[in-house]
Amino acid sequence: MHSSLEKSLDPASVVCSYFKELSNTQIALFRSLGDLYLLWNAKINLISRKDIENLYLHHVLHSLAIAKATTFCAHTRILDLGTGGGFPGIPLAIMFPKVHFHLVDSIGKKIKAVHEIVATLGLNNVMVSCIRGEEIQGQYDFVVGRAVASLGLFYSWVKDKIAKEQKNSLQNGILYLKGDEALVLPLSIHSYPLQSYFKEPFFKDKCLVHGYEKVIFPA
């Protein structure tokens, strides 16, 4: 590790401290992210260059809040719409190697970098596409996102892409990382405050929202 990421002898240790069950392979992959993002961020602004020293806390660990809220079963299909620099999709793909991830963004240069990062890491459970949301075909168990747009707008993009058949204990729907804001959606909503998972001040007033179709029982 180099540059300002040297503030810690092992910047990935913040991830390991919250996920004790990681295999040696997963730990090695998480540690590789630091150098890969330093390399690509110097070429393409995947994340704010002022924030690169906070890669593991602000981006990797933030993405992994989803893994604190639920565990996906094998062969779950997840769409990461508006993945940007590969978040939350890449950290989640490392965490869940038997789950299928489709990382999508409309910005070609970012998707090219994400594709190279995925290839370098050898993440065979990840597909990367440079397309707009409305061009996406197929159905997914979950759609994940991280402050891509307002949750209402995000829902309008993905409401027809969520599969009806259930295979996880958590109902199919949206898993969206966001700040504290009022929510008005035609969905059932459950909000998980991130400070219940992570002690760092960065996570204050941040939450994970699970949005899923309201179940209407017959009279």
Q: What is the DSSP letter of 78?
A: E
Q: Residue 183 has what pLDDT? A: 62
CA distances (Å), origin 85, targets 159, 195, 199, 214, 219:
24, 24, 25, 32, 47
Amino acid 182: pLDDT: 55
User: Is the CATH code 3.40.50.150 the one for domain 3-212?
Assistant: yes
* Sequence spans of domains, the chain: 3-212
Element (H, E) at 18: helix 13-18
- pLDDT tens by residue, 186-218: 788 899 999 999 999 999 999 999 999 875 544
Measuring CA to CA, how many Å separate 206 from each of 31, 149, 174, 178? 25, 15, 16, 6
* Percentage of residues in the chain having pLDDT higher than 90: 74
**Helix 108-121 × helix 24-41 angle, to 10°:** 150
For residue range 61-107, list pLDDT tens digits in order: 999 999 999 999 999 999 999 999 999 999 999 999 999 999 999 99
In the chain, % of residues over pLDDT 70 = 90
Residue 112: pLDDT above 80?
Answer: yes
